[in-house]
Structure 1
């Protein structure tokens, strides 16, 4: 792992929007598929699926071409890699 902190954008789903809406937020890369959402203010009119400080598992969004954004799919502490892999193969 690199010695410097790598900051990037991770997209979190907004709740209560009536349709799929994603917000890019700053996050610190911790591992290959894990990021910590940076400390930032959540706008008063938004409800994020993950909160600042949460460590999340990310994956590339499908259908985004060469520049596929990273999306937060689970909290790292809730992530069970074997069951996630079997669920991904079934879908």
Structure 2
């Protein structure tokens, strides 16, 4: 249960659900803004509240699209390696 709580705490902090990412210390705020977690809360909230303009909103959405593609192809690559190494005995 503790691992789930720790994961939830990290995701909530890095997504901007607990506090806005702008209030985090310098490097942590930058890292959180460019992480995939920002797309959960911060990016939609910034766009909805009108805090970012059209071009900047497109950049934020493009960053999230980049994460989707990177994680998708990363997962496909790992899945391919896992399937090749899998041995099933029995039937």
- TM above 0.5, yes or no, is no
Which structure would you say has the larger Rg?
2
Q: Which has the higher contact order (CA 8 A, sep 6+)?
A: 1
Relative to its length, the structure with more strand (as a share) is: 1
Relative to its length, the structure with more helix (as a share) is: 2
The TM-score, its normalising length taken from structure 1, stands at: 0.25
The TM-score, its normalising length taken from structure 2, stands at: 0.25
